[in-house]
Chain A
Amino acid sequence: MKNLLPMLTGLMLLLSCSSKKNEVTGYAPIYGDPADLTSISLVAAQPVDNGGKIYVLDGILYQVETGKGIHITDIADPAAPVPKGFIKAAGAQEVAVKDGLIYTNSQNDLVVLKIEGEKLSVVKRMPVSLGLRFSPALPPERGPFECPEKSRGTVIGWQKKTLTNPACSY
């Protein structure tokens, strides 16, 4: 009886597998160092991989790199955007800006960030109820997802991607 639930879960996972080639939007695991889950830092501009939500203020565009951080791009000259830097913040999904301060989330914390020159400081961090499941076990939304592989490391988040025949779903 005790083994029934895992068996059922396994069965459901199997049933969700599909043999035909099928491209869907779903979540893929982000692998990384568990210490990166809470640390926030400013680093050099990064190529956009899986751009997310956007926010604009005073000619600066902030775009979430879903689950990883925020790209900062100067678009004062829209014909020639200039990447300015990248804020590493694991679990980031949302961004808004006011009076030079950047509001985002790091996992289930709401954080207020200040950038002076090359230096980033965390003005405030508080746990909030985002209702997003930042669980390494499951992606934040129901649907198909790429099964995590233990050999690739620790899952520290999820990113939305176009997946081919994802084997997992919930």
Chain B
Amino acid sequence: MKLKQLAILAIGGLILAAGCSKGDNAPPSGSGAGGSTARMTISGNYLYLVNSSSLQTYDISNPAQMLLLNTQNVGWNIETIFPYRDKLFIGSETGMYVFDNSNPKKPQLQGQAQHLRSCDPVVADENYAYVTLRSNNNGCGGTLNQLNIYDIQGTHILNPKQVSSLQMSEPHGLGLKDNILYVCMGRNGLNVIDITDKTKPFSRKILSDGTEFIDVIPYDHTLIVYVQGGFILYNITDPANPQKISTINN
């Protein structure tokens, strides 16, 4: 009897512990952050790689013995992968795929949102996914140039529901800090978008000086911006007012 009680307590404790770590805001230990246009990412002891049609999962718990665990077909013209907690968001030219990653050895396709043909990196938070669609001359096709916001709360994850969109010129990579979304628009500048109301995103300002903005990583109070030729760092202590503090480019 006593043993049984002990076992129940232990299992209860384990469940609680698991619950806590899931709710934690900290990124998975030991790895950092990449941009929204990456094809490779690390989450926990696993490395994920997307090529044009598939998602590959590698076990890197022992890096010297790195192992390909599986390859899953996802779709066509896949371009990007972005991890958020126990999910992986994959951007393709025809849509966004959400994978449940609670079993990191084999992510499971959970939902997808189709859209017209374009290039589209994606980032996400707990409740929403943010996708930029860009048409250009480099083979992405399509005529769309906009930001789409999708509700992925609860069962919406199965069929992400578009709640808004915002037209803009040539959106590329993007990054999220509090209620501000930074969207790179190539030579058209860096768009600072207020997303406090997900149904009504609006542009607060566009930083533009001829630089070609490609992708961003919000990193504490610093916004790391990948621009054509190098990078620029902005102070985003006030996220709505990025202040340029340094530049390394050619």
Contacts and interface: CB of A to CB of B under 8 A. Distances in A.
A56 B32 contact: yes
Contacts, number: 148
Interface residues of B, number: 50
Given A25-B138, A57-B31, A97-B32, A79 B63 contact: no
B65 A103 contact: no
B37 interface: yes
Interface in A116-170: 123-124, 126, 128-132, 141-144, 162
A48 B215 contact: no
B222 A75 contact: yes
A73 B232 CA distance: 12
Contact of B31 (A54, A98, A124): A98
Given A53-B215, A55-B32, A124-B63, A96 B47 contact: yes
Contacts of A144: 137
A63 B226 CA distance: 8
Interface stretch (B52-60, B97-105, B200-208): B52-60
Interface in B207-250: 212, 215, 217, 219, 221-222, 224, 226-231, 233, 235, 245-246, 248-250
B35 A54 contact: yes
Interface in A35-91: 47-58, 61, 63, 73, 75, 78-81, 83
A48 B224 contact: no
B140 to A, nearest CB: 9
B41 interface: yes
A110 B233 contact: no
A129 B71 contact: yes
Given A24-B137, A55-B34, A103-B60, A128 B68 contact: yes
B51 A131 contact: yes
B86 to A, nearest CB: 17
B30 interface: yes
A130 B42 CA distance: 16
From DSSP, what is the main secondary structure of chain A's interface residues?
Answer: strand
Interface residues of A, number: 49
A106 interface: no
A166 B34 CA distance: 31
A44 B221 CA distance: 29
A39 to B, nearest CB: 20
B39 A51 contact: no
A107 interface: no
B134 to A, nearest CB: 12
- Please provide the 6 A-B residue pairs with the shortest distance between their CB atoms, ordered closest to farther: A131-B51, A57-B32, A48-B230, A94-B40, A98-B31, A142-B139
Given A99-B31, A129-B51, 4 more contacts: A78-B222, A95-B40, A131-B51, A131-B52
Interface of B: 30-35, 37-42, 47, 49, 51-54, 56, 58, 60, 63-66, 68, 71, 137-139, 212, 215, 217, 219, 221-222, 224, 226-231, 233, 235, 245-246, 248-250
Interface of A: 24-26, 47-58, 61, 63, 73, 75, 78-81, 83, 93-99, 101, 103, 105, 110, 112, 123-124, 126, 128-132, 141-144, 162
